[in-house]
Structure 1
Amino acid sequence: MTATTGTDDGRDDRAELARLLPPATGFDLPPGRHEHHRERLMNQIDHDTARARESVPDRVPDRVPDRAPARPRLLRPSFLAPVTALALAGALVAGYSAQGGGADAPGQAGSGASASERAGNAQPVALVLNRISDAAAKSEVGPVRDDQFLYTRSQAQHGDLTSGTLVTTPLAEVETWASQKPGPQKKLGLVRQDGSTLPVNAQLGDTEGTAPGIGRPTYRWLATLPTDPHKLLARITALTPKQEDQEHDQAVFDEIGGLIGGVMPPGTAAALYRAAALIPGVVEVPDAVDAVGRKGVGIARVDTRYSWRSEWVFDPETLAYLGSRSFLTEDTEMGRKGALLGADALIKSAVVDEAGVRPQG
């Protein structure tokens, strides 16, 4: 995610700050993840600048986060990562909130069996993903009009290394309103956190606005995806950037994790789960836990290159999406095995007619 600014001076300031910040050291991340987290840090700087300007009379914040993807997991890190010079190196790994969560970190709700023990007890994943797919196909939410907004409310936390030690931030509530307007848009919605409500602008470089796509998955765009699982997996794979030394299968799994949950065409949701079953290394984890401690059925995959486990959590009865977690599967320079990297819980998703307005009920 890349923050946009409203003036040339803002862009110059941002470029100068990015130039002065020290390069990331000490952690072996794929190149794409370095740039991703550098952009997240710049987003947080923009966010803090906007909040500071809100306290000045007759001033309107002109520097805001860049875009509002439909999934809250993609928004949260930009507002949770702390802003210090040290944060650049730390945020490159600490705020990583991969699109899932894993076996319970020490001291977390539901802790017990280790990640390896839980993975060893996993059942054939296609069976449970087919059941989740069937449940998703029965959704009666939608269709969504182009003039409406997709609303999500969630609780999230992430790992933080800015103190030099990996710690977990407190849970924070995040609300988003994602615009469904077709075509490239410069104003993509709103995000509300910590008492602040800010607009979300097009991605940096999208001078004509950000178009619907994998980074801005509108309901209409999601409805254009193929519903044959093999064709859908091929499409998502093609849309997922390849990063040097990173498992592409894991990147695709996390990309799908960024799409699921919330409001989407039932046929697309059903196909996404069946497509996930085709990815090598995906397993069922029967005792998964989301960010607020709700227990359920987990769908997980481990990136063995970086020892990160991503896990999606589903209600054991209804198979509705609950949330996700990610954690370390081995001792690394980031932290000890089991250390929590990110967790979230989807509390509410709905369709609303106006940005900033919560759904009834």
Structure 2
Amino acid sequence: MTPNKDVRADRRTDVGTRADTRADARADADVAEIARLLPAPDRRPLPHTQHLHHKEQLMQHIDRDRTDSPARPARPAFSARRLLRPAILVPVTALALAGILTTSVVLTTGDDTATTTTASRDVRPAAALLDQISDAAGKNEELTVRDDQFAYTRQKDQGADLTSGKAVMEPLKESESWVAQDPGPLRKLGIVKEDGETLPINAQLGDTEGTPEGFGRPTYHWLASLPTDPDKLLHFLYAKTPESDDQERDQAVFERIGGLLGGVTPPKAAAALYRAAAKIPGVTKAPAAHDAIGRHGVGIAREDTTFHTRTEWVFDRQDLTFLGSRSYLVKDTQYGKKGTLMSSEAILDFAVVDKAGQEPSRARES
């Protein structure tokens, strides 16, 4: 009797298994049919700036979900550049380049015309301009920045909101930020003051143990550790920039350099960053470049052929001081027409201060 019961039990198990298999197959077929009927997903990436913007919006929702207080204000949607680059004594997106450069290379401020040189340097217009910017950056004073100090930056910026499927430009806003130079990792990176509210800047999305110094938070001391030889630095940047089918490789490295052009940068590191940028294919001059408040200057630019955006860095014509940056569409896309502005910023003031919330004027007087 027992053997027959076991056989019947095995048969029932086998029948149940076959039934489950058929059900799984039907479910897979249903999923495949639904996928066939739906339109293909748009696999084009957001620009790096907007990608970080929406990451910050997600963090706002997470912050609200973690608190029981409905009156707690949401964190402001910081620009991607401010999230990526703390600024001390220099702009968020580039280095303050003091002094007019005296060099044999002739600076041209118009279209990409011929450039003369008496030295064995790259004479392409963009490379020649970056060479001058590099020389100016290399002449800056080496600073002593303590780990307990903060980067103060006052700027005006705006970015396009893409949540509707179209680029909707947000109003130009002025903000002040104080970013810690502690190597970390830190859960609270500093504070920001915008629209009359002072709120914390939290660690980047995914940094559950805090954000350490590095590409996402380039402190002065971390920047000092970078290779100062332009070729070695460029090799390092390519090696540390993740590959992606959704973004042109050279553009990704160009943006990575842009993410490091802020904060108090050691002169040798600053010079190497600009000379490394000059070696990236597709980098050009931008003779009509201007920042968020309309200040015109000489510019360095590169176009992303994947997402069809152009990013420009703007420098003062006389002393090569960084003024700001902007990016815009260079081709009609689903987000807007050619020429649609995607982001823009202008640096107004910057300093090193001892405490978060301290005004630069007080720091200079002390």
| TM-score (structure 1 length as normaliser) | 0.71
**What is the rounded CA distance, in whole Å, between the counterparts of 2:134 and 2:329 in structure 1?**
28
Q: Is the 8 A contact 2:85 2:260 kept in 1?
A: no
Q: CA deviation at 1:168?
A: 2.2
If the length of structure 2 is used for normalisation, what is the TM-score?
Answer: 0.70
The percent of aligned pairs where both chains have the same amino acid is 52
Q: Displacement, 1:352?
A: 0.5
Asked if 1:179 corresponds to 2:180, the answer is yes
- The amino acid that maps onto 1:319 is L
Aligned residue in 1 for 2:306: 305
Match of 1:30 among 45, 67, 81: 45
Q: d(CA) in 2 for partners of 1:75 and 1:133?
A: 19
Structure 2 CA distance for aligned equivalents of residues 348 and 219 of structure 1 = 18
- Stretch moving more, 119-128 or 239-248: 119-128
**Counterpart in the other structure of 1:351:** 352
Q: Which amino acid aligns with 1:198?
A: L
Can you give the 5+ residue segments of structure 2 that lack an aligned partner in the other structure? 1-39, 87-92, 95-109, 115-123
Are the counterparts in 1 of residues 57 and 77 from structure 2 also a CA contact under 8 Å?
A: no
Task: Find the aligned partners of 1:153 and 1:207 in 2 and give their Cα distance.
Answer: 28
Alignment match, 1:45: 61
CA 1:75–1:236 in 2, change beyond 3 Å: closer, same or farther? closer
Does the CA contact (< 8 Å) of 1:30 and 1:245 recur in 2? Answer: yes
Q: Is it true that 1:331 corresponds to 2:332 in the alignment?
A: yes
Quick check: 1:155–1:172 contact (8 Å CA) kept in 2? yes
Deviations 1:167-214, CA, capped at 9 Å, x for gaps: 322210122211111242222111221111111222344343221110
Name 1:72's counterpart in structure 2.
82
Q: Is the 8 A contact 1:151 1:350 kept in 2?
A: yes
**Which one has a bigger Cα radius of gyration?**
2
Deviations 1:39-64 (A, max 9, x none): 232134357789995x84xxx77x86
Give 1:264 deviation, angstroms: 1.6
Map 1:258-273; keep pairs closer than 5 Å.
258-273=259-274
Q: Is the 8 A contact 1:214 1:239 kept in 2?
A: no
Deviation per residue, 1:48-91 (Å, 9 max, x gap): 789995x84xxx77x8689999x526489xxxxxxxxxxxxxxx
Q: CA deviation at 1:267?
A: 1.4
Gaps of at least 5 residues in structure 1 are 1-24, 77-98, 101-117
Task: Tell me the CA shift for residue 143 of structure 1.
Answer: 2.2
Residues in 2 aligned to 1:337 and 1:73: alpha-carbon distance in whole angstroms:
27
Q: Is contact 1:229-1:271 (8 Å) kept? A: yes
**Higher RCO (Cα < 8 Å, 6 or more apart):** 1
Could you tell me which amino acid in structure 2 is paired with residue 42 of structure 1?
L
- 1:78-124 Cα offsets, whole Å, 9 max, x none, are xxxxxxxxxxxxxxxxxxxxx79xxxxxxxxxxxxxxxxx9877962
2:79 and 2:159 in contact (8 A); partners too? no
- How many residues are paired up? 293
SS of the residue corresponding to residue 190 of structure 2 reads strand
Which residue is 1:136 aligned to?
137
Q: Within 5 Å, which residues of 2 pair with 1:128-167?
A: 128-140=129-141, 142-162=143-163, 165-167=166-168
Distance 1:204-1:293 versus aligned 2 partners, 3 A rule: closer
Please give the alpha-carbon distance, in whole angstroms, between the structure 1 residues aligned to 2:270 and 2:61. Answer: 35
Q: Secondary structure at the match of 2:260?
A: coil
Question: Does structure 1 conserve the Cα–Cα contact (< 8 Å) formed by 2:226 and 2:233?
Answer: yes
Q: Distance in 1 between matches of 2:207 and 2:75?
A: 15
Kindly indicate whether the alpha-carbon contact (under 8 Å) linking 1:136 and 1:320 is maintained by their aligned counterparts in 2: no
1:347–1:50 Cα change, 3 Å: farther
Aligned to 2:234: 233
Report deviation, 1:329. Answer: 0.3
Q: 1:356 to 1:52 in 2, by over 3 A?
A: farther
Partner in structure 1 of residue 102 of structure 2: none
| 3-state SS of paired residue (1:29) | coil
| Separation (CA, whole Å) in 2 of partners of 1:255 and 1:247 | 12
